[in-house]
């Protein structure tokens, strides 16, 4: 049976340029981050970047599948400085007080024999059926480093801020396959 342990829970009391958790213990099998976030950017959905261990080098790649219309689209990037184009936050153009949700799975994060894989799923609800005023999608990411993950940083890509009441909960999971 899987055991979920809260490593960190943060609810913002004001704006913040990033979510950063450090000193993540290596005593779990996997990490799982759950977010409910909104930014101060004047958009319907905002782009985020994820870095591990503070690494700002070109050690990240990702493949994205998403929909903001009835047509599904995809994209990919290599040699990036973060796992990019995580559309996990709503912006100020979306329905007031509506927050985007995103989950991030980092399996085997403490293993030092392999590169680190991530899997992200997100949705930006809105009270509109107009194209690109709502969004859903997923990304598979890769950090090309064998270090155990001990730090996670999530940042809006355009220099925006996370706003008050955005929440971030990081779990350490043991006993899940």
Q: Band the pLDDT of 103: cuts 50, 70, 90.
A: very high
Higher-confidence position of 42 and 129: 42
Q: Band the pLDDT of 129: cuts 50, 70, 90.
A: confident
- Determine contact, residues 163/38, Cβ cutoff 8 Å: yes
Give the pLDDT confidence score for residue 130 in this predicted structure: 86
Which of 54, 107, 60, 112 minimizes the C-alpha distance to 81? 60
Domains annotated for the chain, with CATH where assigned, are 3-174 (2.60.120)
pLDDT digits (tens, 9 = 90+) for 29-85: 999 999 999 999 999 888 999 999 999 999 999 999 999 888 899 999 999 999 998
Instruction: Inform me whether the pLDDT recorded for 110 exceeds 70.
Output: yes
Measured between its terminal Cα atoms, the distance across the chain in Å is 9
Instruction: Inform me whether the pLDDT recorded for 28 exceeds 80.
Output: yes
Give the pLDDT confidence score for residue 104 in this predicted structure: 98
Residue entry with tokens 């509109």 = 128
Mean of all residue pLDDT scores within the chain:
94
Q: Band the pLDDT of 135: cuts 50, 70, 90.
A: confident
Q: Which two three-digit tokens encode residue 73?
A: 């689209």
Q: Which two three-digit tokens encode residue 64?
A: 């994205």
Pairwise CA distance, residues 159 & 16, whole Å: 11
Give the pLDDT confidence score for residue 113 in this predicted structure: 97
Instruction: Inform me whether the pLDDT recorded for 119 exceeds 70.
Output: yes
Pairwise CA distance, residues 125 & 170, whole Å: 22
Instruction: Inform me whether the pLDDT recorded for 177 exceeds 70.
Output: no
Give the pLDDT confidence score for residue 69 in this predicted structure: 85
Instruction: Inform me whether the pLDDT recorded for 156 exceeds 80.
Output: yes
Report which DSSP code applies to 111: -
The partner residues of 119 in beta bridges, in order of sequence, read 105, 140
pTM: 0.94
């Amino acid at each position: 049976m899987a055991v979920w342990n809260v490593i960190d829970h943060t609810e913002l009391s004001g704006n913040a340029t990033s979510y950063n958790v450090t000193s993540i213990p290596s005593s779990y099998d996997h990490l799982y981050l759950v977010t409910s976030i909104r930014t101060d950017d004047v958009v319907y959905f905002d782009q985020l970047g994820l870095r591990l261990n503070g690494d700002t080098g070109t050690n990240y790649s990702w493949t994205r599948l998403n929909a903001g219309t009835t047509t599904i689209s995809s994209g990919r990037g290599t040699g990036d400085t973060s796992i990019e184009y995580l559309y996990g936050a709503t912006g100020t153009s979306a329905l007031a007080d509506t927050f985007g949700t995103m989950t991030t799975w980092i399996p085997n994060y403490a293993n030092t024999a392999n590169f680190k894989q991530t899997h992200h799923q997100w949705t930006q609800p809105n009270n509109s059926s107009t194209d690109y005023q709502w969004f859903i999608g997923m990304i598979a990411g890769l950090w090309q480093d064998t270090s155990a993950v001990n730090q996670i940083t999530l940042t809006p890509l355009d220099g925006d801020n996370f706003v008050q009441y955005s929440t971030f909960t990081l779990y350490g999971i043991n006993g899940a396959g």
